[in-house]
Amino acid sequence: MSRRVYITGLGMISAIGNNVPESFLSLSQSKTGIGKINHLTTRYKDEFLAGEIKLSNEALADLVKDNNPALNRNSYIAMLAAKEAVINSGIDTNDGLRTGVISSTTVAGMGKTELYYKEMFEKDDHLNVLDTHDCGDSTERIADYLGNVDYVTTISTACSSAANAIMLGCRMIKHGQLDRVVVGGVDALSKFTFNGFNTLMILDREWCKPFDENRKGLNLGEGAAFVVIEGENTLNLRKGKALAEVVGYANANDAYHQTASSPEGYGATLAIQQALTMSGLTPSQIDYINMHGTGTPNNDLSESFATKAIFGNQVPKFSSTKAFTGHTLAAAASIEAVISVLSLQNSMIFPNLNFTTAIAETGLVPETTLVNTPLNTILSNSFGFGGNCSSLIFKKA
């Protein structure tokens, strides 16, 4: 059993790049990936912006080198990001140690199901698509793609999903159930998601403006990100290199509303507080916060109040990177985990794009340009529908 859990590999694909080096380049050049919709078939093509991965399904299939018709966009991007993380970490899934895959998704195979949905009532040609509909499918595909995986599970708790996947992975290592775990999340864009968020009236028609007084809502994005986490014992045994340590995590329920955060950010405050307690760090020891910061009026205000409740007048430097990637839902927390590790490694805070005016009630001002500063600890927040609030704390290894 290991008491300490380290991140040893990163993998990511999103609107800002097809892999981690490309993503880092976009982040360090303040280049957003959000733009006009090109790949998703939707009546809102010209009405809304989105953070789309810049590859067609065919191009993704070529990258994965698998033309199995049962695969869909969700599984392609999950497989690519998970593979990148494994290669980056240098682990070998055939070395006899126990490897797990814990992935989160909310949309699963919906993108493909909705394409053939109406036809399915007329004829049976596409019923096999339904085999790939459920959330577990993309996780199984990742496991098959990586080979020799001992444990597979999928978590779906809306926009905090990937944070919960990371938490579960850490716990399984600490309890001696696995030696290392590929943890993260994936959500490809679908009409289903787009129409749903549109009816909730929380989409901005322009670029989202997290933490700005005049923010109007979020931009949806798509992506997949995975990190390899390992216990100290097996990491030392194979003389692997740690990129960061996961020192704190917590999950709490806001117990207020299904799709809105409580005005005072009660659940968020609990999650941050409990993650801090676990890490043994005081609030003043947090160097930077990667905020959930979706750009909706409700989230950013509530998260600001939670931040003030914990940090008082000494709020650390913070930003939301959602204006780079869009809100990638079940992938958001793992994308932001990868971004946080990049921040620790490169001593860089990536900016909160599109911000001009602080929210009147809280006056919090995020970092709006790239900041080069040594970073030792990062808090990353993710909050989901159903009141599901999770916070993670990463420490430089």
For other proteins, give the closer residue by CB, 163 or 359: 163
Q: Three-state SS for 137?
A: helix
118 near other proteins, judged by CB under 8 A: yes
Residue of 8, 32, 251, 279 that binds other proteins (CB under 8 A): 251
**Quick one: which segment of 77-85, 223-231, 349-357, 379-387 binds other proteins (CB under 8 A)?**
379-387
* Partners of 9 in the β-ladder: 228
Residue of 212, 254, 287, 336 that binds other proteins (CB under 8 A): 254
Q: And the tokens for 15?
A: 């609107």
For other proteins, give the closer residue by CB, 35 or 297: 297
Range 314-373, binding other proteins (CB under 8 A):
none
95 phi and psi angles, rounded to 5 deg? -90, 10
Find the Cα–Cα–Cα–Cα dihedral 135, 274, 322, 38, rounded to 10°.
0
Q: Three-state SS for 59?
A: helix
State the binding string over 68-107 for other proteins (x if CB under 8 A, else -).
Answer: --------------------------------------x-
Beta strands in 64-150 (DSSP E): 99-104
Residue of 3, 94, 124, 201 that binds other proteins (CB under 8 A): 201
Cα distance between residue 50 and residue 205, in whole Å: 9
Other C-beta atoms within 10 Å of 256: how many?
Answer: 15
Q: 103-120 b/e with 16+ CB inside 10 Å = b?
A: bbbbbbbbbbbbeeeeee
Cα distance between residue 104 and residue 204, in whole Å: 25
**Quick one: which segment of 29-37, 253-261, 295-303, 316-324 binds other proteins (CB under 8 A)?**
253-261
Burial label for 264, CB within 10 Å (0-12, 13-18, 19+), is middle
**In terms of Cα–Cα distance, which of 119, 125, 75 is closest to 101?**
75
274 near other proteins, judged by CB under 8 A: yes
Other C-beta atoms within 10 Å of 181: how many?
Answer: 31
For other proteins, give the closer residue by CB, 252 or 342: 252
Considering CB under 8 A, how many residues would be counted as binding other proteins?
49
- 336, 10 contact by CB (below 8 A): no
- Smallest distance, other proteins to C-beta of residue 66, A: 24
What residues contact 211, with CB distance under 8 A and at least 6 apart? 291, 293, 300, 304, 320, 352, 355, 358, 359, 364, 365, 366
122 near other proteins, judged by CB under 8 A: no
**Quick one: which segment of 10-18, 22-30, 187-195, 232-240 binds other proteins (CB under 8 A)?**
187-195
Cα distance between residue 84 and residue 93, in whole Å: 14
- Smallest distance, other proteins to C-beta of residue 119, A: 11
- Smallest distance, other proteins to C-beta of residue 98, A: 15
State the binding string over 139-168 for other proteins (x if CB under 8 A, else -).
Answer: --------------xxxxxx-----x---x
134 near other proteins, judged by CB under 8 A: yes
385 near other proteins, judged by CB under 8 A: yes
Residue 153 region, left (φ>0) first, then alpha (ψ -120 to 50), else beta? beta
294 near other proteins, judged by CB under 8 A: no
Question: Can 159 be counted among the known catalytic residues?
Answer: yes
Question: Can 327 be counted among the known catalytic residues?
Answer: yes
171 near other proteins, judged by CB under 8 A: yes
Cα distance between residue 20 and residue 87, in whole Å: 12
Q: Which of 39, 135, 170, 292 is catalytic?
A: 292
Residue of 6, 48, 266, 288 that binds other proteins (CB under 8 A): 266
- 113, 130 contact by CB (below 8 A): yes
183 near other proteins, judged by CB under 8 A: no
**Binding residues for other proteins, per CB under 8 A?**
106, 108, 110, 113-114, 117-118, 134-136, 153-158, 164, 168, 171, 175, 191-192, 195-201, 250-259, 266-267, 270, 274, 278, 384-388
The catalytic residues are: 159, 292, 327
